[in-house]
Structure formats: structure tokens, C-alpha cells
A and B are shown apart, each in its own frame.
Chain A
Amino acid sequence: GESVGLHLPTLSVQEGDNSIINCAYSNSASDYFIWYKQESGKGPQFIIDIRSNMDKRQGQRVTVLLNKTVKHLSLQIAATQPGDSAVYFCAEIPYTSGTYKYIFGTGTRLKVLA
């Protein structure tokens, strides 16, 4: 289930189950969205991205869904493995920014239970 930690919400999932990590973004003008995975003590690692003209994009064991109506982004991980334990961040880039700066979400910690 979900719980709210000091700063990061945590999602606990049984190994082998599917995980769904959610993100609410702020700017309706955002053109590009991306998910990163960050393991403890390391830099963020690119997982998957999606443009605003798409609703869904699939990668290897991951799917990103974009709902522009409610400004919601989700990351689905199929058959969650212990190695998926990490903090997951969504990021958006407003089309009008012109600077390619990301607006990061607060992050969600995924804990995979054996």
C-alpha cells in the first residue's frame, strides 16, 4: 500500500506484482514528460519519455500513460523485481520555457517486498 514519509510517499509492492506510480504535473503547456529512476547515492537514470501528442508509450517492462485532461502521468512497471526498488521521479518541460529546464515532481519511493 501507500504511505507518506517525511518527504517522499512510498509504494510497497510484492515481488512479481505490477507497480503503478503516479504523478500530477503542473503546467498544461508542458510538451514533454519523462520518468527517472534514482537508486540510493546515485544520479537519476532515464527510464522512458512521452510527448504531449501521445497518450501511452511502452518500453521494456514499463509503460507511461499521459492524461492531459487531468494533468496526470503514470508509470507502470510489470512484474516488479527487487532491482526496481528506488525513488522514481517524473519531470515535465513546459513548451514555452525555451530553456529545456525540467520541473521535477516530488518523487515516489518504490519498495519491492520479497
Chain B
Amino acid sequence: GAVVSQHPSRVICKSGTSVKIECRSLDFQATTMFWYRQFPKQSLMLMATSNEGSKATYEQGVEKDKFLINHASLTLSTLTVTSAHPEDSSFYICSARASGVYTQYFGPGTRLTVL
């Protein structure tokens, strides 16, 4: 149980284009989903927290207009990187938690490369 998927696993795009990453909880209802970014050899950096049906809460320094988050259902959240630039290249990971539970279950991550 507690499986979270992400799609795509890898994406390469040209500078200036937008990329959408999907995060799905496959066998539970995710009250809250989190989006993280991870640079090589570093820990996970929380970008934003999203609750189903509400606007996402962004961490300080994360541009909400650049990283659009939608949590339209209890099993799906999407992260759209708008007008991507090479510095947005990174490993993006989502996680999900069910209501009343502390534990976050993580997706396998999406490797974004912006040329």
C-alpha cells in the first residue's frame, strides 16, 4: 500500500517552454501533497504544500507564478514549471499523506533537464 507515482520520470525540454509533472497517490486519498526539489548530493528542499481543493502554500523564495501547482483531486497533484530555464534543471519529487497521518509517501521523482 501507500504507492505514489510520478510522470514523467525524465523530461528534456528547451528553454522557454513549460513542463507539467503529475503526482498520483495510487491506493489512498492524499489530503496533502508536497513538492520538493533536490540538487545533487543535497537534501530535499520543500517547494510547496498543497491541500486538495485549496491554493498551494509556497515556501519562501519559491516563485508561485513560475511553479504552478494544482491539486484538483484527492489522488492527483500537478506541478507546472513555466518558461523553464537551465537553472530549473533538477530532480523534482512529490509526496503525499493521508488525513490524520504524519507519514509522507514519496514518488519516484522526475528528472528535468532544460537545454
Chain A residues with CB under 8 Å of chain B are 5-8, 32, 34, 36, 41-46, 49, 89, 93, 99-102, 104-107
Q: Is the CB of A101 within 8 A of B46?
A: yes
Instruction: Decide if A100 touches B97 in the complex (CB within 8 Å).
Output: yes
Is chain B's binding surface mostly helix, strand, loop or mixed? strand
A43 to B36, CA, bound (A): 10
CA distance A62 to B95 in the complex (A): 23
Q: How many pairs, one residue from A and one from B, have CB atoms within 8 Å of each other in the complex?
A: 55
Q: Which residues of B contact A101 (CB under 8 A)?
A: 34, 46, 49
Q: A101-B49, A102-B104 in contact; A8/B41 too (CB < 8 A)?
A: yes
Please determine whether A99 and B49 come into contact, CB atoms closer than 8 angstroms: yes
A-B contacts, 24 listed (Cβ < 8 Å): A7-B42, A32-B102, A34-B103, A36-B106, A41-B109, A42-B108, A43-B95, A43-B107, A43-B108, A44-B44, A44-B95, A44-B106, A46-B2, A46-B105, A49-B103, A89-B43, A100-B32, A100-B102, A101-B49, A102-B46, A104-B44, A106-B42, A106-B43, A107-B42
For B102, give its contact among A5, A36, A93, A105 (CB under 8 Å). Answer: A93
